[in-house]
Amino acid sequence: MGFKNLHILLGVTGGIAAYKSVELLRLMKKAGANVHVAMSRAAMEFVGKTTFEVLSENPVLTDLWEDTHSSVTHIDIATSVDAVIVAPATANFIGKFAHGIADDALLTTMLAVTTPIMICPSMNTDMYQNIRVQRNLDILEQDGVHILDPDDGVLACKTVGTGRLPEPWFIFDRLDALLTQKDLAGKKILLTAGPTVEAIDPVRYVSNHSSGKMGYAVARAAERRGASVTLVSGPVSFDPPVGVEFIPVESCDQMADAVFSHLGAADIIIKVAAVADYRPIDPSTLKIKKTQDSNDLSISMTENMDILKRVGDLKTEQQFLVGFAAETNDLERHALAKIKKKNLDMIAANLVGTEDSGFKADTNKVKLFFKDGASKDIPLMDKNRVAHILLDTIIEQTG
């Protein structure tokens, strides 16, 4: 859960995609990891050792014999790392590693590693599909090595097919998932996020400022912790987290349909979405034109279903229901009233209207309230960390 203070060995072997591992290194460093890089001789034909040395702030391991730091550096690294990621991993590296061959610094180091290993094959499609390469990947998989499948796309050899190294953010995301404790394994989590959008006519709508950041952070954290996550989301400006079942919706009605068709299977329901409380009664099928005779326009609105309240009415004893409340005042009073009214197990309430807490911000200051009246303050922090604390609390509460 997070890279802070983790020791990671980044193995780079000789493929054209080696330049992407520079960005991967940068992402891991930014997240607080201490990264050691080991490069094969061929990798140095593609990217200079100095680049990795400067960015990792550690000596780069390239040759067991030329290494001047210590005669046992590779063993020191192997025994101190929390994980190894090899990106890109060539067919040559995969073949040798699968058979325990240790003829360079990276392979030798990796034979002494006992922590999780992820490798990212990247090569020409025919090479990747070659029966020998596939056999070697199977061997590694059976040995417990995690293989991150290559992407499809245009390859350096100008062919189109499988073999591209995934983008650095994706490798980083999957390595993070690998290293995260699976304390939500077996749990099904149904989440809503983002705003809803209620049509006035085909080009206009009523909505709110929800960015979806908080809900997506919870979805991402839950997936990394092993939950099977269904995310029902109104329109937001970023991609859904990797590995979640994603159901895009627009209106409250559509969100309700998606929620109720997945409710029965859910163990935990977390409703982060900022659902519009009202919608135009009779949206026009044609664009509403400006009229000459009046300066005023009234739109008649009708109340939307309170999805959370309906879920609260329907939920079983085994289901744990979490609501969110964005308030501008009287946080505690409103939050406790909503717990009661909507039959919630917990509510995450925050004051909106400040720059560092609320819809658009990357940080949030949340207070959790429980149905017995107890509460827990979460100090101002990044929404990803808030998401993990929220999930920790749900695990505590569901015992």
Q: Does 263 bind ligand CTP (CB under 6 A)?
A: no
Using CA atoms, how far apart are residues 329 and 332, in angstroms rounded to an integer? 9
| Binding residues for ligand CTP, total number by CB under 6 A | 16
For residues 338-357, which are near ligand CTP according to CB under 6 A?
338
Buried b (16+ CB within 10 A) or exposed e, 372-387: eeebeebeebebbbbb
Q: Does 273 bind ligand CTP (CB under 6 A)?
A: yes
Which of positions 202-261 make contact with ligand CTP (CB under 6 A)?
252
The reply on whether position 306 binds ligand CTP by CB under 6 A is yes
- CA 378-373-364 angle, to 5 degrees, is 20
Q: Which of residues 103-132 bind ligand CTP (CB under 6 A)?
A: none
How many Cβ atoms from other residues are within 10 Å of residue 302's Cβ?
A: 10
Least separation in angstroms between CB 308 and ligand CTP: 3
The whole-angstrom separation of Cα 32 and Cα 252 is: 40
Is there a contact between 94 and 133 (Cβ–Cβ < 8 Å)? yes
* 325 touching ligand CTP, by CB under 6 A: yes
Nearer to ligand CTP, 64 or 236 (CB): 236
Minimum distance from residue 323 beta carbon to ligand CTP (Å): 4
Q: Is 308 in the site for ligand CTP (CB under 6 A)?
A: yes
Closest distance of CB 266 from ligand CTP, Å: 14
Residue 361 C-beta: closest distance to ligand CTP, Å: 17
Residue 326 contacts ligand CTP per CB under 6 A: yes
Q: How far is the CB of 108 from ligand CTP (least distance, A)?
A: 54
312 binds ligand CTP (CB under 6 A): no
Q: Closest separation between CB of residue 28 and ligand CTP, Å?
A: 35
Task: Bin 394: left if φ > 0, else alpha if -120 < ψ < 50, else beta.
Answer: alpha
Outline where the chain has alpha helix (H): 18-30, 43-46, 49-56, 73-80, 91-98, 105-111, 125-129, 131-142, 168-179, 213-224, 252-262, 307-314, 331-342, 383-398
The Cα–Cα gap between 18 and 96 comes to 19
Shortest Å, Cβ 307 to ligand CTP: 3
Closest alpha carbon to 324 in 382, 263, 387, 261: 387
| 368 near ligand CTP, rule: CB under 6 A | no
Active-site residue flag, 157:
yes
Segment lying near ligand CTP (by CB under 6 A), choices 21-29, 97-105, 140-148, 299-307: 299-307
277 touches ligand CTP by CB under 6 A: yes
Active-site position among 156, 157, 160, 185: 157
Indicate which single residue of 146, 271, 279, 388 sits in contact with ligand CTP (rule: CB under 6 A).
271
| Helix-then-strand count for the chain, H and E | 14, 19
Q: Using CB under 6 A, which of the segments 77-85, 119-127, 131-139, 317-325 binds ligand CTP? A: 317-325
The C-alpha atoms of residue 323 and residue 306 are separated, in whole angstroms, by 12
Which of 275, 366, 391, 394 is the binder for ligand CTP (CB under 6 A)? 275
The 192-211 contact track toward ligand CTP, x by CB under 6 A, reads x-------------------
Q: Looking at 13-21, 226-234, 320-328, 388-396, which segment touches ligand CTP (CB under 6 A)?
A: 320-328
Q: Residue 151, interface with ligand CTP (CB under 6 A)?
A: no
Which two three-digit tokens encode residue 258? Answer: 């998606």
- How far apart (Å, rounded) are the C-alpha atoms in residues 137 and 276? 50
> Residue 41 in contact with residue 104, Cβ under 8 Å?
yes
Per-position DSSP letters for 276-289, written without gaps between them: -SEEESS--SSPPP
**Cβ closer to ligand CTP: 85 or 259?**
259
Least CB distance from residue 261 to ligand CTP, whole Å?
15
- The rounded radius of gyration (Å) of the Cα atoms in the chain is 26
> How many angstroms separate the CA atoms of 174 and 33, rounded?
15
Asked whether position 177 contacts ligand CTP by CB under 6 A, the answer is no
Q: For ligand CTP, which residue of 121, 240, 323, 358 counts as binding (CB under 6 A)?
A: 323
142-179 b/e with 16+ CB inside 10 Å = b?
A: eeebbbbebeeeebeeeeebbbbbbebeebbbbbbbbb
Query: Do the Cβ atoms of 354 and 302 come closer than 8 Å?
Result: no
Q: Which residues bind ligand CTP (CB under 6 A)?
A: 192, 252, 271, 273, 275, 277, 304-308, 323-326, 338
Q: Which residues are catalytic?
A: 157
